Amino acid sequence: MEQEKDKMPAICGGKPVREGKQTLYYGRQCIEEDDIAAVVRTLRSPALTCGPEIEALEDHLKDVTGANYAICCSNGTAALHLACMAIGIGPGDEVIVSPITFAASANCVLYCGGTPVFADIREDTYNIDVESIKSRITPRTKAVVAVDFTGQAVELDEILALCREHGLYLIEDGAHSLGTKYKGRPVGSIADITTFSFHPVKTVTAGEGGACTTNDPELGQRLSLLRAHGITRDMTVMKHPTDDPWYNEQVMLGYNYRMTDFQASLLISQLKKLRRFSDARKAIRAKYDAAFEEIPQLILQKTIPESDTTQHLYILRLDPEKVRCTRREFFDALCAEGIHPQVHYLPVYLHSYYESLGHKKGECPVAEKVYENILSIPFYPALTEEDTDDVIRAVRKVAQFYAK
Ligand SMILES: Cc1ncc(COP(=O)(O)O)c(C=O)c1O
């Protein structure tokens, strides 16, 4: 695949920017020797699962997020499902969700029998719009799932105030935002529950992995039970307490959403680098911003001043008034230069499955308009200066070629 793309002739003429070099994709993990050593150590230990690395990881996550409780699990989708179960979402409940996100942010509501209701986004930051949330609240609304898109924190103060006014839970989908601070406070300690993903393209990775954080002891306990079948050894939780050493009791219906200990070891090792990775991401964002501000065909995502952001994705938006090409043509031309972008995201309700549930075009006009013209370009700490120079050169070349 990669070789074929490398051979594509430059659509914009001249030599492809990355000629003779590997294609750059929009995201990838950064695994170093000490990460590998950490995994190998655990693979040689007695416990591959349910062992000491899980508790150690949860302590690290509490440190990073400032939350009182951290519950790690098998992936970010499981974390969202756990969060919806913990707050008791069920049939008849509506949950207001951001549409510009990965489908899991809304699927978790469906898993619980609830109904996702999509609120529109802001045209400048692409995060969920507080006014649109307000307009979607009904007597059935039970919660809001707000996504820190690309890592920038949503307007937490305003959304939390709205949730408190209407008796709603706030689940913050922080899959993109581990390490981000909102008004000086780390994401993970502010919403009722914050969920994280540790998929390889995220800021730090466990291969697959996720977590929920909360300050609420009851939610913390429910999340922890639901993560492992609803089974406990805690006598204070049992209906039939006994100290028989073999006895454990299922007190609710839960799942096996556990993370393994070797994944936890990888993540602990990665978390030690969070600051370094975050600084590298911020530096690349600053370099890209400075270069792309000069290109009239592009609209840049607005920086949210309240958010000290560990950036996850870098989004370019084409200004349809100033380019004479489609997003697809721009995409293909970048691929031909050796820069392979991605698009984040199709508004969730436009997936055919959601259409089959009755959702239609027009529900969130701003999200649809933004979606038409966005691209995510290569953005991860392992990019070298030469790589980021190439990305900038390629984007500039394609933008000039297609300038109106
Ligand atoms: C915003 C958002 N939420 C949830 C998820 C789901 O996480 P995972 O892939 O770990 O299940 C993702 C992952 O891509 C995501 O980007």
What pLDDT tens digit does each residue of the chain (404 aa) get?
444 444 556 799 999 999 999 999 999 999 999 999 999 999 999 999 999 999 999 999 999 999 999 999 999 999 999 999 999 999 999 999 999 999 999 999 999 999 999 999 999 999 999 999 999 999 999 999 999 999 999 999 999 999 999 999 999 999 999 999 999 999 999 999 999 999 999 999 999 999 999 999 999 999 999 999 999 999 999 999 999 999 999 999 999 999 999 999 999 999 999 999 999 999 999 999 999 999 999 999 999 999 999 999 999 999 999 999 999 999 999 999 999 999 999 999 999 999 999 999 999 999 999 999 999 999 999 999 999 999 999 999 999 999 99
Torsion of CA 70, 64, 38, 379, to 10 degrees: 110
Give the pLDDT score at 10.
Answer: 77
Give the pLDDT score at 127.
Answer: 98
Q: Is 75 in the pocket of ligand 1 (CB under 6 A)?
A: yes
Contacts of residue 18, defined as CB under 8 A and 6 or more positions apart, other chains included, come to 6, 24, 337, 338, 339, 390, 394
**CATH top-level class of 33-271:** alpha beta
Give the pLDDT score at 8.
Answer: 59
Q: How far apart are CA 242 and CA 249, in angstroms?
A: 10
390 touches 338 (CB < 8 A):
yes
Q: How far is CA 290 from CA 185, 284, 394, in A?
A: 27, 10, 15
Q: Which two tokens stand for residue 308?
A: 């000290």
CA 55, 57, 61, 64 dihedral sign is: positive
Q: Own/partner pairs for 352-355, CB < 8 Å, 24+ apart?
A: 354/106
Q: How far is CA 323 from CA 55, 133, 168, 304, 379, in A?
A: 52, 33, 43, 27, 23
Q: Which residue has the tokens 């809001």?
A: 144
Q: Is 42 in the pocket of ligand 1 (CB under 6 A)?
A: no
184 touches 160 (CB < 8 A):
no
Amino acid identity at 94: E
Q: Is 292 in the pocket of ligand 1 (CB under 6 A)?
A: no
CA of 148 to the centre of ligand 1 (A): 11
Residue 317: which of 231, 375, 403 has the closest Cα?
A: 375
Q: Is 205 in the pocket of ligand 1 (CB under 6 A)?
A: no
Using left for φ > 0, alpha for ψ between -120 and 50, and beta otherwise, residue 150 falls in left
For residue 386, give the 3-state DSSP assignment: helix
The alpha carbon of residue 3 and the mean position of all alpha carbons in its chain are separated, in whole angstroms, by 30
**Reported pTM:** 0.96
Residue 102: which of 145, 155, 156 has the closest Cα?
A: 145
Q: Which two tokens stand for residue 113?
A: 């029998």
Torsion of CA 252, 254, 256, 261, to 10 degrees: -70
Q: Is 102 in the pocket of ligand 1 (CB under 6 A)?
A: yes
Of ligand 1's listed atoms, the one at least distance from the Cα of 201 is 14
Q: Is 345 in the pocket of ligand 1 (CB under 6 A)?
A: no
Q: Is 151 in the pocket of ligand 1 (CB under 6 A)?
A: no
95 touches 143 (CB < 8 A):
yes
Of ligand 1's listed atoms, the one at least distance from the Cα of 208 is 10
Give the pLDDT score at 9.
Answer: 67
Q: Which two tokens stand for residue 316?
A: 């370019």
Residue 271: which of 59, 126, 89, 50 has the closest Cα?
A: 59
CA of 175 to the centre of ligand 1 (A): 6
Report phi then psi at 255, rounded to 5. -130, 170
The alpha carbon of residue 344 and the mean position of all alpha carbons in its chain are separated, in whole angstroms, by 11
Q: Is 83 in the pocket of ligand 1 (CB under 6 A)?
A: no
For residue 291, give the 3-state DSSP assignment: helix
Residue 333: which of 316, 350, 313 has the closest Cα?
A: 316
Residue 294: which of 369, 404, 393 has the closest Cα?
A: 393
CA angle 159–161–167, rounded 5-degree value: 100
Residues of the chain with CATH 3.90.1150.10: 2-27+274-401
Give the pLDDT score at 5.
Answer: 47
Of ligand 1's listed atoms, the one at least distance from the Cα of 147 is 1
Q: Is 199 in the pocket of ligand 1 (CB under 6 A)?
A: yes
For residue 382, how many other CB atoms are within 10 A of its CB?
Answer: 13
Q: Is 142 in the pocket of ligand 1 (CB under 6 A)?
A: no
Q: Whose CA is nearest to atom 8 of ligand 1?
A: 76
CA of 372 to the centre of ligand 1 (A): 21
Q: Is 210 in the pocket of ligand 1 (CB under 6 A)?
A: yes
Contacts of residue 40, defined as CB under 8 A and 6 or more positions apart, other chains included, come to none
Amino acid identity at 302: K
Fold classification of 2-27+274-401 is Aspartate Aminotransferase, domain 1 (3.90.1150)
Q: Which two tokens stand for residue 161?
A: 């105030």
Spell 185-197 as b/e; 16+ CB within 10 A means b: ebbbbbbbbbbbb
